[in-house]
Amino acid sequence: MLGVMDLQALLDDLAAEAAPFAAHGKVADYIPALAAVDPAHFGIALATMDGQLYGSGDWQTPFSIQSVSKAFSLALVLARDGESLWRRVGREPSGSAFNSLVQLEYEKGIPRNPFINAGALILIDRLLSLSGDSLGTLRTFLRAESGNANVDVDPEVAASEASHGHRNAALAHFMASCGNLGNPVETVLDHYFRQCSLTLSCGDLAKAGLFLANHGLRADGSRLLTRSEAKRINSVMLTCGTYDAAGDFAYRVGLPGKSGVGGGILAVLPERGILCVWSPALDPKGNSVAGVEALDRFTTRTGWSIF
């Protein structure tokens, strides 16, 4: 077991070693507000099960979490609705782009998994029906678990997403035409764009995700998920959480993870803690180049993978 000083020193080393890899990627320029983010940012944080929080680089800088939010949406839906969700969305890797229209049409409006864009729209639609306010439910949860009452939507990013969200609108309308959307398309899209535009730091996200490492138990000791449900979310994160690069991520990192095109990646260390990295420069699949490099080096040095 690495000691307190060893963990901090390790994160410092990883920040110094991995950050230069951002030069091999590019920011998500199809969302103008994300295109303006400095690609040189790099942060890494580790929240442990014994309540410790370590960080290095820009780990306290808030960023747009984008699709990392989908892991939390899935947890909130499963907590309220159980297995019925899986009648509307699958659990298989997509093998296609996260916003593919072709795959959705071929599969008659049933998204391949909850982490591609179409699947996330199903999560939001269901959470809207269950809670009346998908965004508000998620935001309240993230504030409570992170301990940061200031977690909120970046309105500039949300507006940028909405003004360039035509493909997501097409996905939503197609699913509605197939009878797989219960709320108005415009309402679902509004919550989707704003949830993706929530901003948290690496430290915030690492703390907020600890329930995934702790078999579904929240920060206050209450149970959000059963052990089985937490296991299932982690398994879907491993196989589907990094778009159509999930196999490469599992090969290199060996942890369940969920990435977002804002450059964040949340990785689960079962019964140990949560790692979060942020570096906005992405590879062609939409994953942070420097972030994956840092996670790869972390599990290689510590041996803390699930394999």
Q: Encode pLDDT of 146-162 as tens digits.
A: 999 999 999 999 999 99
Q: Specify if 229 maps to a domain.
A: yes
Q: How many Å apart are CA 73 and CA 84, to the nearest integer? A: 15
- Catalytic: which of 67, 73, 201, 279? 67
236/150 Cα distance (integer angstroms): 29
pTM: 0.95
Q: Which of 37, 54, 69, 70 is catalytic?
A: 70
Q: Is 192 a catalytic residue?
A: yes
For the record, the structure tokens of 215 come out as 């078999």
199 within domain boundaries: yes
Asked if residue 159 is part of any domain, the answer here is yes
- Residue 113: name the closest of 196, 237, 234 by CA: 237
The pLDDT value recorded for residue 4 is 62
Q: Which of 9-13, 161-165, 205-209 has the lowest mean pLDDT?
A: 161-165
Instruction: Say which of 89, 253, 261, 268 is annotated catalytic.
Output: 261
Task: Give yes or no for a contact between 17 and 297, defined as CB atoms under 8 angstroms apart.
Answer: yes
Q: d(Cα 171, Cα 132) in Å, to the nearest integer?
A: 22
- Residue 111 domain flag: yes
Instruction: Report which of residues 17 and 100 the model is more confident about.
Output: 17
Residue 177 lies in a domain: yes
Residue 98 lies in a domain: yes
Paired tokens of 208: 């907020």
Amino acid at 106: Y
Q: How many CB atoms lie within 10 A of CB 239?
A: 18
Decide if 243 is catalytic. yes
When pLDDT is averaged across residues 259-282 and rounded to a whole number, the result is 98
Reference 126, options 61, 175, 165; nearest CA is 175
**DSSP state, residue 132:** S
CB of 253 within 8 A of CB of 300?
no
Determine the residue type at 113: N
Task: Fill in the DSSP letter of residue 28.
Answer: -
**For the chain, how are helix, strand and coil distributed in percent, rounded to 5?**
55, 10, 35
How large a percentage of the chain has pLDDT more than 70? 98
Say whether 261 is catalytic: yes
176's tokens: 């509605």
CATH assignment of the domain containing 93: 3.40.710.10
Number of domains making up the chain? 1
Q: Could you give the CA distance from residue 161 to residue 82 in angstroms, rounded to a whole number?
A: 30
Q: Exactly one of 27, 243, 277, 289 is catalytic; which is it?
A: 243
Asked, for residue 53, whether it belongs to a domain, the answer is yes
SS (H, E, C) 165-226: CHHHHHHHHHHHHCCCCCCCHHHHHHHHHHHHCEEECHHHHHHHCHHHHCCCECCCCCECCC
Catalytic residue among 27, 54, 73, 192: 192
Domain holding 267, by residue range, is 4-302
pLDDT digits (tens, 9 = 90+) for 191-228: 999 999 999 999 999 999 999 999 999 999 999 999 99
- Looking at the domain assignment, is residue 61 inside a domain? yes
